[in-house]
A and B are shown apart, each in its own frame.
Chain A
Amino acid sequence: MSEYVIVGGSVGAIGAVEAIREIDPLGTITVISAEPFPQYSRPMVASYVSGEATLEKMKYRDDQFWEKNKVQALVGRKAMTIDLAGRYVVLDRGDKISFGKLLIATGGKPLVPKTEGVGKDGVFTFTDLTNAENLRAKLKEGRTAVVIGGGLIGVSVAEALVKSGAKVTIVELRDRILNLILDEVASKIVEKVISESGVAVVTGQTVQRILGKSGDSRVVSGIVLANGEEMPCDLVVIAIGVVPRTELAVGTDLRVNNGVIVDRFMRTNIPDVYACGDVAEAYDFIFETNRLLPLWPVAHLGGRVAGLNMAGKKTEYPGGTLMSALKYFGLPVISVGMTVLEKSNGYEVLVDHRPAGNVYKKIVLKNDVMVGMTLVGNIERAGIIFHLMKNRVNVRQFKRELVSEDFGLINIPAPLRKKLFMMGD
C-alpha cells in the first residue's frame, strides 16, 4: 500500500511529487515510470539530436530527485491495469500496488498514420529520448530526411536535422506550417527563416507512400506525395501530433473523452483518482472548457495542482491554454490562446507588423478582454500580456498601447497595476 501512487515519471509526476512533499513530508509515494531514464526534459530532445544539448544538460531534476523526495521509483516498469474498486494498480510482472490516492500522468504518444511503408527501417517518431537516440544513431552528414507534419515537433526536428547536416523537407497537410498556433503572417515569417536556413517546406500535401530500397525493401529510400511526386530520402520522421495515453483508463469507470476528464482540482470522476498532463482533458482559461493541451508547462502546473489536492491542500487549477514559446534558428516567437480565428465575428484584432525586421505583434480581443497574442521578434514583455489574459482583464482603457513597441507595466492604470501586479504602495 502506498498513500500516493503516480503512474508516469515525467513532468506531471515531478510537479506532483514536489507539491505533495511540501504538504506531506512522510506519506509514501510510489512512481511507476515506464521510461528507463532519469528525469529528462522532453522538449529538449530536438536539441539532443542537433548536438546542442547533452544528456547531462537535459536532466530536468538531479539524479537523486526520487531519493531526496523519498519516492519509491519503479523505473522501467509499466502499469498494466487499474482496479478502481479494489484501489490497486497491476504492474507488468503481475504485482499489485494498492493506492490511497492515484495520479494518472501517463502522457501522450505519437500519432502514427496508416501510410503504406510506415513500418520500414528509417521511419521514426519523435517525442522521447529513445526516439532521439535512435534518430541520432542513424544520422550522418548528408543524410536526406522528410519530416511529416509541420507543427511544433515537426519544425523542431527539422531544425535539429538541418543543424546535424541533413537535407530536410517538411511536408505539411494544411496550407502553412504551425497552423494551429500561428496565423498566416507569423507562419510565413517562420517559414522564411527556416527556409533561409535550409529547410524545404511543402504545404498542402501529404505523404501517400513510403518507398523501400530496391535491394532491401524494408529500408526507406524515399516517399511519394499525394500529387505523385517522388522524393528520395533515407529518413522519415513522423510528427503529426500526439494522442493521450489513455489505455489504463479506457474500459474502467473513469470518464474519458479524448483524454481523461478532470475538474478544476484535477480530480477525475472517481474519488481519490487524479489525472494531469498530456493524458488529461483539463480546463483552458481562454476557451473556458476542458481540452487536450499537450504542453510541458501545462503538464507541470496540472501535476503540481493535483499533488497539492492529493495531499489535502485544496487548490483550484487556474487552467492552461495553448501556449508556445519558440525559437527557430534564433527567431523568437510566442503565441498564446486564440490567435488563429476561423470566424472573425465578435473579435477585435490589433496588429503591428514590420516585415523588414521580422517583427509582428498581434493581439486578439473579445469584448475588450484579450483572448490571444502572437509576438514575433520582440517578445520580452509577453508575460505582462499573458498575466492580463489569464486574469481576463478588461483592457479597454489601454488597448491602444498593447501593440506599441515598448508596451509595459507603465501603460496599465495604477489602480489595476496595484491590484493585479501588486505594484505600488
Chain B
Amino acid sequence: MVKEEVCIGCGLCEVYCIVEHSMSKDIIKAYRKEHPKPLSRVRVEEDRPFSFGVQCRHCEEPPCVIACLSGAMHVDEKTGLVMHDAEKCMGCWSCIMVCPYGAIRIDVSGKVVVKCDLCEGLDVPACVANCPNQALVYEEEIPKCQST
C-alpha cells in the first residue's frame, strides 16, 4: 500500500521496478544497454503537492482474471497472487479495460500486457525496498476492489 502523505514523488520505485524486471538487474546496464528497457510496473501519479505510487493490488476477486480472454491472467494457487502468463497472453487488453487501478500496461512489444508480480523471488518488492521515505509498504492484507 502507499502512504500518500509521505510520498515525495521521487520516482525511485519506478526506477527500481525497471531494474528488477530488466535482464541484467543492474541499474546502469538496464538503462544504457537494454533497448527497449522494461516498463515499470508501478507508476507515480502526481498533482503537486500530492503524489503516490500505484501498482497491482492483487485483488481478491480480480476483475482482470474474470475479463481475461485467454486464461493468461490467473490467481496463483499457492500464493493467491494475481499473476500473468505472458506466453498465454493474446494482448486483447480486456484486463486493462477493467483494472480499477489502471495498473496493467501494454508491454513495449505491443503484444502482451505487463503488471506487478510483487517481484517473484524477492522477500520485499524492489519498489518497497527502495522507497526512501517508506511511503510504499508491503502488507499481506489490504482492502481492495472486487469484481463481484
On A, residues with C-beta under 8 Å from B are 15, 41, 43-44, 47, 52-53, 57-61, 296-297, 300-301, 304-305, 308, 315-318, 323, 325-327, 330, 332, 334, 336, 379-384, 386-387, 408-411, 414, 420-425
- The 7 A-B pairs at the shortest CB distance, nearest first, are namely A383-B99, A387-B100, A422-B143, A297-B67, A410-B45, A325-B93, A60-B71
A334 and B88 CA atoms in complex are apart in Å by 21
- 5 sampled A-B residue pairs with Cβ under 8 A: A53-B90, A308-B148, A326-B93, A379-B106, A386-B98
Q: Kindly identify, within residues 78 to 103 of chain B, every residue whose CB is under 8 Å from any CB belonging to chain A.
A: 87-88, 90-103
A334 and B113 CA atoms in complex are apart in Å by 15
Whether a CB of chain A sits under 8 angstroms from the CB of B51 is yes
Whether a CB of chain A sits under 8 angstroms from the CB of B147 is yes
A60 and B104: CB pair below 8 A? Answer: no
A151 and B75 CA atoms in complex are apart in Å by 32
A61 and B69 CA atoms in complex are apart in Å by 11
B93 and A410: CB pair below 8 A? Answer: no
* Chain B window 1-30, contacts with chain A (Cβ cutoff 8 Å), 1 for yes, 0 for no: 111110000000000000000000000000
Chain A neighbourhood of B54, CB < 8 A: 408-409
B101 and A384: CB pair below 8 A? Answer: yes
B92 and A327: CB pair below 8 A? Answer: yes
A43 and B70 CA atoms in complex are apart in Å by 8
B92 and A315: CB pair below 8 A? Answer: no
B102 and A315: CB pair below 8 A? Answer: no
Chain A neighbourhood of B33, CB < 8 A: none
A422 and B141 CA atoms in complex are apart in Å by 12
Chain B neighbourhood of A57, CB < 8 A: 70, 87-88, 90
B46 and A410: CB pair below 8 A? Answer: yes
Chain B neighbourhood of A315, CB < 8 A: 148
With contact pairs A43-B69, A382-B97, A422-B142 given, residues A411 and B102 touching in the complex (Cβ less than 8 Å): no
Q: Kindly identify, within residues 39 to 82 of chain B, every residue whose CB is under 8 Å from any CB belonging to chain A.
A: 43, 45-47, 50-52, 54, 57, 63, 66-71
B45 and A408: CB pair below 8 A? Answer: yes
A113 and B52 CA atoms in complex are apart in Å by 54
With contact pairs A57-B87, A332-B106, A422-B144 given, residues A300 and B66 touching in the complex (Cβ less than 8 Å): yes
On B, residues with C-beta under 8 Å from A are 1-5, 43, 45-47, 50-52, 54, 57, 63, 66-71, 87-88, 90-106, 110, 142-145, 147-148
With contact pairs A57-B88, A305-B148, A421-B145 given, residues A332 and B4 touching in the complex (Cβ less than 8 Å): no
B100 and A410: CB pair below 8 A? Answer: no
With contact pairs A327-B92, A334-B93, A409-B54 given, residues A421 and B71 touching in the complex (Cβ less than 8 Å): no
A2 and B72 CA atoms in complex are apart in Å by 31
How far does the Cβ of A167 sit from chain B's closest Cβ, in whole Å? 25
A330 and B90: CB pair below 8 A? Answer: no
| Most chain B Cβ neighbours within 10 Å, of A57, A305, A383 | A383
With contact pairs A382-B97, A382-B102 given, residues A425 and B3 touching in the complex (Cβ less than 8 Å): yes
With contact pairs A325-B93, A327-B93 given, residues A318 and B98 touching in the complex (Cβ less than 8 Å): no
With contact pairs A305-B148, A408-B45 given, residues A380 and B106 touching in the complex (Cβ less than 8 Å): yes
Chain B neighbourhood of A386, CB < 8 A: 97-98, 100
How far does the Cβ of A268 sit from chain B's closest Cβ, in whole Å? 20
How far does the Cβ of A28 sit from chain B's closest Cβ, in whole Å? 23
With contact pairs A325-B97, A383-B101 given, residues A409 and B45 touching in the complex (Cβ less than 8 Å): yes
How far does the Cβ of A8 sit from chain B's closest Cβ, in whole Å? 17
How far does the Cβ of B49 sit from chain A's closest Cβ, in whole Å? 11
How far does the Cβ of B81 sit from chain A's closest Cβ, in whole Å? 17
B104 and A332: CB pair below 8 A? Answer: no
Chain B neighbourhood of A334, CB < 8 A: 93, 96-97
B69 and A44: CB pair below 8 A? Answer: yes
Q: A297-B67, A305-B148, A383-B63 are in contact. List 16 more A-B contacts (CB 8 A).
A: A44-B69, A44-B90, A58-B70, A297-B98, A300-B66, A301-B148, A316-B148, A318-B148, A323-B98, A379-B93, A380-B105, A383-B95, A383-B103, A409-B102, A410-B52, A421-B101
Closest to A384 in B: B102
Chain A neighbourhood of B52, CB < 8 A: 409-410, 423
A315 and B54 CA atoms in complex are apart in Å by 29
B143 and A44: CB pair below 8 A? Answer: no
Closest to B143 in A: A422
A410 and B110: CB pair below 8 A? Answer: no
A325 and B110: CB pair below 8 A? Answer: no
Chain A neighbourhood of B142, CB < 8 A: 422
A336 and B3 CA atoms in complex are apart in Å by 32
Chain A neighbourhood of B68, CB < 8 A: 297
A317 and B105 CA atoms in complex are apart in Å by 28
Chain A neighbourhood of B1, CB < 8 A: 423
A58 and B88 CA atoms in complex are apart in Å by 8
A420 and B94 CA atoms in complex are apart in Å by 21
Chain B neighbourhood of A425, CB < 8 A: 3-5
Closest to A62 in B: B71
Residue from A297, A305, A380, A420 within 8 A of B96 (CB atoms): A380
Chain B neighbourhood of A41, CB < 8 A: 69-71, 90
How far does the Cβ of A79 sit from chain B's closest Cβ, in whole Å? 25
A424 and B4: CB pair below 8 A? Answer: yes
B147 and A383: CB pair below 8 A? Answer: no
